[in-house]
Amino acid sequence: MEAFQFYFPFGWEHIIGLDALDHQLFLLALIALYSWRDWKTLLILVTAFTVGHSITLVLSVSDLIRVDSKWIEFLIPLTIVITAARTIIEKSAVSQRLTLNYALALFFGLIHGLGFANTIRMMLASDQQLGWGLLGFNLGLEAGQLAIVSLLLGLNFLITEKMKAPSLIYAKLVSFLALGVAVNICFNRFPLQF
């Protein structure tokens, strides 16, 4: 149980921290079209992302998978580009296929999980309570994501409901912002030098 208490804050910080811009931008692009009324759908989407993240961490800590970190650091912002671009082309949250969204969130979670895999592999590999450590980290991650999603949904509500900004225009502007930042990060992290 000590391992759980030790690793929970690492999961939380992995999403909430100042160096977690990639995860925060991903969540921003993922939920841009949704409102408070869609909380069940968002809970499943965010949980699918966490499940993907968790699978990668288990495989990594077990030393069953290793991917060159240069490619992962490029692929993470690419997931944001794809998510933001999908939001930009959609007309509403209803028009998006939920099954595809869940599958993409799970798959993108696998990629994002690889971004932290090297660090957590070293920490957890020496830990005697591997299961509790992974559980603590992943629940901290989920709690952090739910906090970010709640904050972003609150902002969506304030801007679209209280300030009466058109929700579709707001979602697209937010997605263009996420897309622009992510494209820049992709460009700077492209692993092949010319």
Q: Where are the domains of the chain?
A: 2-189
**pTM reported for the whole predicted model:** 0.89
Query: Within a 10 A sphere around the Cβ of 192, how many other Cβ atoms?
Result: 7
pLDDT for 129: 67
The 10s digit of each residue's pLDDT in 7-62 is 899 889 988 988 889 999 999 999 998 888 888 888 899 999 989 988 998 888 77
Structure tokens at 65: 């998978």
Residue with structure tokens 């699918």?
48
The 10s digit of each residue's pLDDT in 50-104 is 899 889 988 887 778 888 889 999 999 999 999 999 989 987 655 556 788 899 9
pLDDT for 188: 94
Structure tokens at 27: 């969540």
pLDDT for 153: 94
